[in-house]
């Protein structure tokens, strides 16, 4: 139990938006992203009908030995990924330096060559997407930006859509499509079915790079991991991830501390609690994570899917800066929630780290006696059952 209970400021206010509510993106912006995604998908699906006839889209060897008349028609499919799909997207803390984004993966089923690469060339697919979207961008006042592993469409000041391009084996994709088309289910149920026996092996999904190379990448694996963390900890996991993303965005205009690294750090910190997090004390959980965050970020944080990859392989300068900021966050939260007996000072200290989106509502702070605060050592957790089924990965 802490001296101050600031849970209401994080997610429990009734008369005005809490910090969580203030992190939500504007509904008009959300609608704008979805409408732009719809237009982009329509344009790319229509343009895909002409891929077979364009030699420049294909691997040079494959194009040389096949006539365009004999090439199979190309169909593209899409799946939104990242924070927009997870439900962890935040509005920017610093505008226009920071932007909201939507990642919409484009999947291209195609034959694979003997060398293991798709018959469609990585550079060719970048050219295809950019050529297909150029008229749409001009019509809507959008701009195309070059990124090494996606095509970026800048929609308006503060918002963009990224199109990563994946290639998958045509024969396996046909099986999945047949299963999807025959199932009269909701989108969420169809998406969940990617995790069952129809799921493509991850090593059969490759991501195009602008330099012409391909890398193995299965974004659905990461989506499954996020869902597994939510299943394990409950809805509070996503809230906590969003709170710490909000801290990062308020602290830095740009930072190498990725959202994935934050979500992994939250998971690692929650694993150290003596039990499972409850839904009643988000402030206390934020404090407990903040206490562990410096050591977590000081060490290696592994990609939860590609476990041989370190996702905080930063320069010494960046690491020192990030760890120092995490230490400052820990100190300020300890002072605010454990040692400050004045509600107004509690709010001021919290806002110094999370920004003005955390409401200035001292009257919403519940103060308890210092004796009561000392009586409970580990707050905001429920006792763990004797057997905890593993849901990792």
Cα-based distances in Å from 187 to 79, 106, 180, 214, 316: 11, 17, 10, 29, 44
Hey, how many other C-beta atoms are within 10 angstroms of the C-beta on 93? 22
Query: Is the predicted pLDDT of residue 275 greater than 90, yes or no?
Result: no
What are 120's strand-pairing partners?
Answer: 58
Check residue 174 and give its pLDDT: 63
pLDDT (average), residues 292-304? 97
* Exposure b/e, 337-357, CB count within 10 A at least 16 = b: bbebeebeebbebbbebbbeb
Check residue 369 and give its pLDDT: 64
Supply the Cα-derived Rg of the chain in whole angstroms.
Answer: 24
Check residue 262 and give its pLDDT: 98
Q: Which residue has the tokens 């798709």?
A: 118
Confidence of residue 44 (pLDDT cuts 50, 70, 90): very high
DSSP tag of 52: G
- 189-209 per-position pLDDT tens digit: 444 544 444 456 666 789 999
Dmax (CA) of the chain: 82
Cα separation of 142 and 124, whole Å?
Answer: 22
- 308-325 per-position pLDDT tens digit: 999 999 999 999 999 999
Check residue 296 and give its pLDDT: 98
Check residue 199 and give its pLDDT: 57
Greater model confidence, 168 or 380: 168
Query: Is the predicted pLDDT of residue 105 greater than 90, yes or no?
Result: yes
- With beta carbons less than 8 A apart as the criterion, state whether 363 and 343 touch: yes
Cα separation of 20 and 239, whole Å?
Answer: 7
Cα separation of 200 and 193, whole Å?
Answer: 11
DSSP for 337-382, written as a single string? III---HHHHHHHHHHHH-TTS---GGGPEE--HHHHHH-SS-SEE
Cβ within 8 Å of residue 193, ≥6 positions away? 179, 180, 183, 185, 199
- With beta carbons less than 8 A apart as the criterion, state whether 384 and 276 touch: yes
Check residue 89 and give its pLDDT: 97
Distance of CA 87 to the CA centre of its chain: 8
Average pLDDT for the chain: 88
What are 104's strand-pairing partners?
Answer: 80
State residue 104 phi and psi, 5-degree precision: -120, 100
Cα separation of 160 and 64, whole Å?
Answer: 37
Check residue 177 and give its pLDDT: 58
Cβ within 8 Å of residue 38, ≥6 positions away? none
Confidence of residue 159 (pLDDT cuts 50, 70, 90): very high
Query: Is the predicted pLDDT of residue 2 greater than 60, yes or no?
Result: yes
pLDDT (average), residues 4-16? 90
Cα separation of 120 and 167, whole Å?
Answer: 8
Cα-based torsion angle of the residue sequence 37, 39, 45, 49 in order, rounded to the nearest 10 degrees: -150
* Alpha helical stretches, state H, the chain: 7, 19-23, 27-47, 60-65, 83-86, 122-140, 170-182, 187-192, 219-233, 236-251, 259-271, 282-298, 316-334, 343-354, 370-375
| pTM of structure | 0.87
- 229-273 per-position pLDDT tens digit: 999 999 999 999 999 999 999 999 999 999 999 999 999 999 999
* Whether residue 96 has a cis bond before it, omega within 30° of 0: yes
Check residue 62 and give its pLDDT: 82
- 118-133 per-position pLDDT tens digit: 999 999 999 999 999 9
Confidence of residue 330 (pLDDT cuts 50, 70, 90): very high
For residue 356, which of 249, 235, 240, 242 has the smallest C-alpha distance? 249
- 81-100 per-position pLDDT tens digit: 999 999 999 999 998 899 99
Confidence of residue 16 (pLDDT cuts 50, 70, 90): confident
pLDDT (average), residues 276-292? 94
Greater model confidence, 187 or 173: 173
- With beta carbons less than 8 A apart as the criterion, state whether 166 and 106 touch: yes
pLDDT (average), residues 61-74? 84
């Amino acid at each position: 139990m802490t001296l101050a209970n600031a849970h209401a400021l994080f997610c429990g206010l009734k008369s005005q938006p809490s910090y969580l509510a203030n992190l939500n993106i504007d509904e008009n912006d959300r609608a704008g992203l979805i409408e732009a995604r719809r237009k982009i998908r329509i344009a790319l699906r229509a343009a895909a009908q002409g891929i077979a006839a364009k030699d420049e889209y294909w691997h040079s060897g494959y194009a040389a030995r096949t006539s365009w008349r004999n090439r199979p028609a190309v169909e593209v499919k899409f799946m939104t990924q990242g924070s927009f799909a997870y439900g962890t997207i935040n509005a920017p803390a610093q505008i226009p330096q920071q932007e909201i984004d939507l990642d919409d993966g484009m999947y291209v089923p195609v034959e694979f060559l003997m060398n293991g690469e798709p018959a469609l060339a990585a550079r060719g697919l970048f050219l295809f997407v950019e050529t297909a979207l150029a008229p749409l961008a001009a019509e809507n006042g959008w701009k195309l930006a070059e990124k090494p592993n996606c095509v970026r469409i800048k929609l308006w000041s503060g918002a963009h859509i990224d199109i990563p391009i994946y290639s998958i084996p045509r024969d396996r994709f046909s099986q999945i499509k047949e299963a999807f088309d025959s199932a009269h289910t909701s989108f969420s149920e169809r998406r969940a079915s990617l995790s069952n026996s129809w799921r493509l092996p991850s090593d059969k999904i490759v991501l195009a790079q602008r330099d012409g190379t391909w890398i193995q990448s299965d974004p659905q694996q990461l989506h499954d991991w996020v869902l597994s963390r939510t299943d394990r900890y409950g809805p509070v996991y996503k809230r906590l991830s969003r709170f710490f993303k909000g801290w990062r965005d308020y602290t830095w205009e740009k930072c190498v501390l990725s959202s994935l690294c934050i979500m992994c750090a939250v998971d690692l910190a929650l694993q150290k609690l003596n039990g499972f997090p409850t839904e009643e004390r988000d402030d206390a959980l934020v404090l407990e994570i903040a206490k562990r965050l410096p050591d977590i970020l000081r060490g290696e944080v592994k990609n939860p899917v590609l476990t041989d990859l370190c996702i905080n392989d930063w320069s010494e300068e960046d690491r020192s800066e990030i760890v120092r900021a995490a230490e400052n966050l820990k100190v300020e939260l300890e002072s605010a929630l454990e040692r400050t007996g004045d509600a107004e000072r509690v709010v001021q200290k919290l806002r110094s780290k999370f920004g003005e989106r955390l409401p200035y509502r001292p009257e919403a702070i519940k103060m308890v006696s210092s004796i009561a605060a000392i009586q409970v050592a580990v707050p905001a957790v429920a006792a763990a059952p004797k057997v905890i089924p593993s849901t990792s990965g």
